[in-house]
């Protein structure tokens, strides 16, 4: 009896649930409230973001401000972002400032970005500066980007090459000159970029580096010659393919390039290479694929070739 009285005393002031209690619904409501609260906290005005960029002691606040200013697309942010790119001590802030300047696309940022590409000690900042310069374009960015092909960091070199590709035709001549650069990585990136740019004026220069002392340069050269599609390269690619002293990757690349060019002059050399092999390795397999591609494109003009199409079932 005493136990019952104690229970009543303990439960007397507890609220009575009128409906079944749904904990999941309460959690959903709480999460929705928190999400709304966070969104309202994140929404800042342009002036607020400028103030954060210029005055906040928190590097995280500053680089988030730089990022959002770039996304806003307001050119009034260009000067403050340039100041952050040049003067902020934190690499992440400078990185996002470079990114934002590329997104805003204002030519005023060109010179500061070139300076960052050349002098900033932070690799990620140099990468972002190169990418931003590719977006800005213009003749004045070509030489600094070509210089960046010899950067000590491979990621900067590759980004600079990609930026030159994005800039387009005005980058072709400086890239051709870079094929004779002392540094092998510069020659590699230049050879690759010339293939992507698709300008046939680079064909002779690329043929010239088929004898480069470095394998990687020769690999990019044969690949780019295939992409450029100039039949002038065919005899030279055949020579590479047939050279048994050449690196196998270079020979296979030459075979693949001949397939892309689809020139019938390559049929006999490809056939001879395939027939000579006891078994198909990488070179022979690539040669066979190239042979089929060329035959498909030239079968009407190849002596003795025929195309026998099987009759459809409803005509038998």
What is the model's pLDDT at position 307?
A: 52
Question: Please, what is the average pLDDT of the chain?
Answer: 87
φ/ψ of residue 93, rounded to 5: -65, -45
Helix residue ranges, H only, the chain: 2-11, 23-42, 46-55, 59-72, 78-87, 91-104, 110-119, 123-136, 142-148, 154-167, 172-178, 184-197, 203-208, 215-228, 234-242, 248-261, 267-276, 282-298
Q: List, by residue range, all CATH 1.25.10.10 domains of the chain.
A: 50-167, 208-301
Using an 8 Å Cβ cutoff, are 46 and 31 in contact?
A: no
CA dihedral 184, 215, 163, 68 (to 10 degrees): -90
Using an 8 Å Cβ cutoff, are 71 and 86 in contact?
A: no
pLDDT at 26 over 60: no
CATH T-level fold of 50-167: 1.25.10
What pTM does this model have?
A: 0.73
CATH T-level fold of 208-301: 1.25.10
pLDDT at 313 over 60: no
CA–CA dist 183, 187 (Å, integer): 7
Q: Which of 15-29, 84-98, 287-301 has the lowest mean pLDDT?
A: 15-29
Using an 8 Å Cβ cutoff, are 207 and 233 in contact?
A: yes
Using an 8 Å Cβ cutoff, are 159 and 127 in contact?
A: yes
Share of residues in the chain with pLDDT > 90 (%): 76
Q: In the structure encoding, which two tokens stand for residue 262, read together? A: 């689809």
**Band of pLDDT at residue 10, cut at 50, 70 and 90:** low
**Band of pLDDT at residue 94, cut at 50, 70 and 90:** very high
pLDDT at 41 over 60: no
What is the model's pLDDT at position 316?
A: 41
CA–CA dist 32, 43 (Å, integer): 17
């Amino acid at each position: 009896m005493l136990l019952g009285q104690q229970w009543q005393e303990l439960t007397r002031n507890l609220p009575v649930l009128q409906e079944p209690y749904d904990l999941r619904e309460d959690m959903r409501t709480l999460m929705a409230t928190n999400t709304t609260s966070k969104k309202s906290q994140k929404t800042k005005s342009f002036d607020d973001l400028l103030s954060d960029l210029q005055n906040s002691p928190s590097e995280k606040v500053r680089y988030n401000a730089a990022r959002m200013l770039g996304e806003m697309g307001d050119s009034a942010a260009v000067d403050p972002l340039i100041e952050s790119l040049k003067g902020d001590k934190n690499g992440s802030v400078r990185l996002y400032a470079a990114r934002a300047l590329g997104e805003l696309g204002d030519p005023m940022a060109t010179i500061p970005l070139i300076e960052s590409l050349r002098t900033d000690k932070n690799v990620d900042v140099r990468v972002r500066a190169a990418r931003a310069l590719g977006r800005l374009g213009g003749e004045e960015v070509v030489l600094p980007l070509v210089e960046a092909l010899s950067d000590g960091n491979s990621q900067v070199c590759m980004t600079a090459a990609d930026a030159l590709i994005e800039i387009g035709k005005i980058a072709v001549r400086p890239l051709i000159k870079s094929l004779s650069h002392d540094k092998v990585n510069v020659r590699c990136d230049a050879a690759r970029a010339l293939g992507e740019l698709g300008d046939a004026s680079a064909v002779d220069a690329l043929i010239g580096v088929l004898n480069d002392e470095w394998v990687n340069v020769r690999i990019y050269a044969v690949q780019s010659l295939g992409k450029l599609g100039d039949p002038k390269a065919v005899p030279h690619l055949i020579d590479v393919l047939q050279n048994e002293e050449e690196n196998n990757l270079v020979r296979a690349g030459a075979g693949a390039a001949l397939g892309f060019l689809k020139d019938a002059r390559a049929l006999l050399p490809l056939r001879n290479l395939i027939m000579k092999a006891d078994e198909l390795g990488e070179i022979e397999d690539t040669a066979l694929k190239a042979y089929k591609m060329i035959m498909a494109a030239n079968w009407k003009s190849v002596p003795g070739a025929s195309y026998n199409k099987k009759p459809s079932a409803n005509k038998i």
